[in-house]
Amino acid sequence: MAERWRSETHTFHLAKGEMTITLKDVAILTGLPISGDAIIGSTTKPEGGSGPLILAELGFDMPTTTPIQGRGHPPLNAGQVSILWLVTHIQNEVEINDETPEDQVELYARIYLIGLVGEFLFPDKSNRWIQGIWFSLLNGDWDAIGEKSWGSAVLAGLYRELCTCSKVGAKQASDAMFILQLWVWEHLPMFSPLDPRPYRRADDELNFLQNPTYGVK
């Protein structure tokens, strides 16, 4: 599909004509909001770097000099946070029960959102680091976070990445490529699994989800 992408029109050039992924596709497949405030942020690094701001948002100390085992960089490096370290820390150090203070539960929920956005919706090509910009964008009022147009930002990132990876010599792609896969399965059935049933969740699994999106189904 990347080889058929045209950056001039942001469309796939196919034998029968042109097609593209739309905001409606993103909304139906992912359930992400496509209206509301735009996802914007400053590209200027704060004085002293992003490290202190990231540590303040996380709410716990994080090594800045000790390399990750088997890795060449510390968990907090150049305004980025190691996904491996963050996931391991949460799994090993965090326990939430009925007695956990509400502010602590909210902190861990916010960290989960940061991981979801930084690793799943806007991953880098290494899939090892979460960019520091997401920490500031996911801070503040919960309702304000949910009212932002995340679907628009994801689609813009996907368009940008398709423009990049369609160039001669490109070997990798990032951003939300899972949306492209789901979109192809839906609109170009010749590329979908011959029998999609093994890929679908069982009814009992869907019952645990409230209003599962079309992509989940």
Q: What is the pLDDT of residues 171-207, one digit of tens each?
A: 877 778 889 988 998 888 788 776 655 556 566 665 6
pLDDT band, very low/low/confident/very high, at 81 (cuts 50, 70, 90) = confident
C-beta separation of 99 from 117 below 8 A: no
pLDDT at 67: 57
pLDDT at 206: 58
C-beta separation of 157 from 122 below 8 A: yes
Cα 20 to Cα 10: distance, rounded to the nearest angstrom: 7
pLDDT band, very low/low/confident/very high, at 159 (cuts 50, 70, 90) = very high
Report the chain's mean pLDDT, rounded to a whole number: 78
Does position 26 have pLDDT exceeding 90, yes or no?
yes
Percentage of the chain lying above the pLDDT 90 cut: 18
C-beta separation of 132 from 81 below 8 A: yes
Task: Average the pLDDT over 106-112 and give the result.
Answer: 81
Task: Average the pLDDT over 118-141 and give the result.
Answer: 78
Mark 162-176 as b/e (b = at least 16 C-beta within 10 Å). Answer: bbbbbeeeeeeebbb
Cα 132 to Cα 81: distance, rounded to the nearest angstrom: 7
113: closest CA among 36, 190, 57, 63?
Answer: 57
Does position 13 have pLDDT exceeding 90, yes or no?
yes
Q: Is 17 helix (H, G, I), strand (E, B) or coil?
A: strand
pTM across the whole model: 0.78
pLDDT at 6: 92
pLDDT at 135: 75
